[in-house]
Amino acid sequence: MLSALLAPGARALEQTDPLPSWNDGAAKQAILSFVKETTDQASPKFVPPAERIATFDQDGTLWVSHPMYTQVMYCLERVAVLVKAKPEMAKAEPFKTVLQVLKGDREALAKLTMKDLEVVLAATLTGMSVDEFNAEVKKWITEAKDSRWKRHYTELTYLPMQEVLKYLRANGYKTYIVTGGGQDFVRVYSEATYGIPPEQVVGTAGGTKFGYRKDGKPFLTKEPKLLLNDNHAGKPEGIHLMIGRRPYAAFGNSTGDQQMLEYTKSGDGARLSMLVLHDDATREYAYGPAQGLPDTKVGTFTQALYDEAKKQGWVVISMKGDWKRIFAFE
């Protein structure tokens, strides 16, 4: 009676499916079994609460990243704002090409090289104060909409993955984003969008420089100096730098996540490594090129990665087969 008073919803909760947007199958079962094994005190694979760390890639794992990464869209659209302040920029490459892209010229987008993109990123992500940058991103993310669904980007998170985040947290896991995207960018909306506070976002990070305003107030300026390239080997390196513990569970969707999944899975006890396969052209997008899916440069999932997943016991999530619903707005 007393325990019922203290936790009135406990019994009801136990009987509720924590992953209602998942179809029954190997992927859903792998998540449920992992949580059961690591949180049951009687289990030989019990993990003390303090060590329960789970890491999630963002682009293509937690939200839509096609046809282009959201942060790249921010940087491209930001060029238009910069050009207003400095009209001479419009004549110089790569900004000239970016302005064509913004006018709807898809072919112009393909012309941009990685080097061009780096110039655009440096111009739009550095050189301002941290507070100014945060304010700009906050404004953009609440206004900008994607081209297909005409919805805010933060509405394009995957409901099944939001359920996994909540389910893990309800079981004592600390959830982290470990993204190839910009750490400062994602931190602006991570708490409202995923329930993940800024300090639990690990991402590609540049240096900042401490200085003083004219009135003597200290501030930080974003510098064009790369500290952490949080992709491929940079993901486990970033996890060590920012968290200092090996995760028990890791979720990704592309070759950039491979080393994070290897690092996670090679720890002792129960470890969960999962990959989202985008095989649903109708409800979202279909790309690989694993399993004969169309090739892409945005979030590549190679056949080699697919084969390693099968060999290492990682679980591949089929968006088409495993997810009952993809978006909350459906």
Contacts with its own copies by CB under 8 A lie at 2, 5-6, 50, 53, 130, 174, 183-184, 187, 191, 197-199, 201, 205, 207-210, 217-218, 220, 227-228, 233-234, 236-237, 240-245, 259, 262-263, 266
Q: Which helix (H) or strand (E) holds 38?
A: helix 26-39
Nearer to its own copies, 112 or 249 (CB): 249
* Closer of 2 and 12 to its own copies (Cβ): 2
E-state strands within 126-279: 174-182, 201-212, 218-228, 249-252, 272-277
Q: Which is nearer to its own copies, 28 or 222 (CB)?
A: 222
Within 10 Å of residue 17's Cβ, how many Cβ atoms? 12
Per DSSP, 53 falls in state E
- C-alpha–C-alpha distance, residues 132 and 135, integer Å: 5
Owner of token pair 């079994």: 33
Q: How far is the CB of 255 from its own copies (least distance, A)?
A: 14
Question: Cβ–Cβ contacts within 10 Å for residue 207, how many?
Answer: 14
Neighbours of 110 (CB within 10 A): 10
Peptide bond between residue 236 and the one before it cis (omega within 30 degrees of 0): no
How far is it, in rounded angstroms, from Cα 227 to Cα 242? Answer: 12
Closer of 33 and 312 to its own copies (Cβ): 312
Q: Which is nearer to its own copies, 24 or 132 (CB)?
A: 132
As measured in angstroms, the least distance from the Cβ of 296 to its own copies is 25
Residue 34 Cβ, how far from its own copies at the closest point, in Å? 20
Compute the least distance from the CB of residue 212 to its own copies, in Å.
8
Amino acid, single-letter form, for residue 154: T
Q: How far is the CB of 258 from its own copies (least distance, A)?
A: 10
Identity of the residue, 237 or 280, whose beta carbon is nearer to its own copies in the bound complex:
237
Q: How far is the CB of 6 from its own copies (least distance, A)?
A: 7
The residue written with tokens 């094994």 in the block is 37
Cis peptide before 87 (omega within 30 of 0): no
Find the shortest distance in angstroms from Cβ 266 to its own copies. 5
The secondary structure of residue 137, as a DSSP letter, is H
Which helix or strand (DSSP H or E) is residue 316 part of?
strand 315-318
Q: Residue 184 CB, nearest distance to its own copies (Å)?
A: 7
8 Å CB contact between 252 and 260: yes
> Rounded distance, CA 62 to CA 25, Å?
20
Contact (Cβ atoms closer than 8 angstroms) between residue 138 and residue 188: yes
Q: Which is nearer to its own copies, 45 or 232 (CB)?
A: 232
Closer to its own copies at the Cβ: 82 or 241? 241
